[in-house]
């Protein structure tokens, strides 16, 4: 994905003139250029901006940020083996060892943004637990145990970041009859970290209720998650809303 400068400005809260200065004066960003000369920023650029903002919040001058990020990247590349981290976490889950799970999680969080940890550690472990749900002796208990742990971590993260997002509004919900909301919660956290405001309606939400919420909030997008069919739910028309897309996950 690549984003124009106005979109990146909305997502991160950084003014376009500042983004251009970070590129030309400090070499912090490396956007692509279209034939007409417009800048297009990648997900890596956005991650760099978020890491730079975290350093600025600690009082570090922007001129020092590029060198620090370069050193951090080298440390990350040397210090992180995602497969090893996944295997270690699965072994800890098998022993219901929450202290070891937390150690591995905190170590990853100390080196990477939350979205990177979700994509390279949390989600792969959840997929593995799902695959062995019925075959492992304690597969169901292991999966429930880890879901509870992750849910608690997500709740703490949301509380820590509450009210900081200022970008476009997204309404999210699990489809009717869908009770598993952890995947949607992970998405909501990633969206919030990218400066999107989120109204999350959670599990098993009637379609008509989603429509009511959207009428009142007029979101920029709707994200619906679920593995099950909505069943006999009456179809809902969102044609009255000025939405670019309704996403189904």
Q: By the 8 A CB rule, do 236 and 211 touch?
A: yes
Handedness of CA 115, 117, 119, 123 (dihedral sign): negative
Q: By the 8 A CB rule, do 149 and 101 touch?
A: yes
C-alpha 78 chain-centroid distance: 24
pLDDT of residue 241: 40
For CATH 3.40.50.280, the residue range(s) in the chain are: 169-248
Q: For residues 61 and 22, give the distance between their C-alpha atoms in angstroms, rounded to a whole number.
A: 12
The yes or no reply on domain 2-77 and CATH 1.10.1660.10 is yes
Measured CA distances, 163 to 40, 53, 102, 160, 238 (Å): 28, 17, 26, 9, 27
Average pLDDT over residues 197-223: 89
pLDDT at 19 over 90: yes
Q: For residues 183 and 200, give the distance between their C-alpha atoms in angstroms, rounded to a whole number.
A: 12
> Residue 221 forms beta bridges with which residues?
170, 245
For CATH 1.10.1240.10, the residue range(s) in the chain are: 80-161
pTM above 0.85, yes or no: no
In the block, tokens 């970070």 appear at 22
- Angle between helices 98-111 and 139-161 in degrees, nearest 10: 40
pLDDT of residue 197: 87
pLDDT of residue 15: 92
Token couple for 219 = 């979101």
Q: By the 8 A CB rule, do 206 and 234 touch?
A: no
Average pLDDT over residues 193-203: 85
Q: For the domain bounded by 80-161, which CATH number is listed?
A: 1.10.1240.10
pLDDT at 62 over 60: yes
For CATH 1.10.1660.10, the residue range(s) in the chain are: 2-77
Dmax over CA atoms of the chain, in Å, equals 60
Superfamily of domain 169-248: Cobalamin-binding domain (3.40.50.280)
Confidence of residue 75 (pLDDT cuts 50, 70, 90): low
Quick: pLDDT tens for 99-144. Answer: 999 888 888 877 777 778 888 888 889 888 888 776 767 778 888 8
Q: How would you classify the pairing of strands 221-225 and 2-4?
A: unpaired
C-alpha 188 chain-centroid distance: 6
In the block, tokens 């889950």 appear at 93
pLDDT at 248 over 50: no
Q: Could you give the residue ranges of the DSSP H alpha helices within the chain?
A: 5-12, 16-24, 43-57, 65-79, 82-94, 98-111, 114-117, 123-131, 139-161, 182-193, 207-217
pLDDT at 77 over 90: no
Q: For residues 222 and 210, give the distance between their C-alpha atoms in angstroms, rounded to a whole number.
A: 9
Confidence of residue 243 (pLDDT cuts 50, 70, 90): very low
pLDDT at 158 over 80: no
């Amino acid at each position: 994905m690549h984003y124009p400068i106005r979109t990146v400005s909305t997502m991160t809260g950084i003014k376009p003139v500042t983004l251009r200065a970070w590129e030309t004066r400090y070499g912090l960003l490396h956007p692509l250029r279209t034939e007409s000369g417009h800048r297009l920023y990648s997900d890596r650029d956005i991650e760099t901006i978020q890491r730079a903002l975290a350093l600025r919040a600690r009082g570090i001058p922007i001129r020092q940020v590029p060198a620090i990020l370069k050193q951090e990247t080298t440390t990350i590349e040397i210090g992180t083996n995602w497969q090893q981290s996944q295997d270690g976490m699965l072994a800890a889950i098998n022993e219901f060892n929450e202290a070891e799970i937390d150690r591995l999680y905190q170590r990853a969080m100390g080196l990477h943004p939350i979205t990177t940890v979700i994509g390279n550690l949390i989600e792969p472990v959840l997929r593995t637990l799902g695959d062995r749900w019925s075959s492992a002796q304690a597969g169901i208990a292991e999966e429930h145990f880890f879901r509870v742990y992750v849910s608690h971590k997500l709740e703490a993260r949301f509380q820590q970041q509450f009210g900081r997002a200022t970008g476009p509004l997204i309404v999210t919900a699990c489809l009717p009859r869908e009770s598993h909301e952890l995947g949607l919660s992970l998405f909501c956290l990633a969206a919030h970290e990218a400066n999107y405001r989120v109204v999350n309606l959670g599990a098993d939400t009637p379609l008509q209720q989603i429509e009511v919420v959207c009428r009142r909030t007029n979101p920029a997008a709707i994200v619906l998650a679920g593995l099950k069919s909505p069943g006999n739910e009456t179809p809902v028309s969102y044609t009255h809303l000025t939405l670019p897309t309704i996403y189904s996950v």
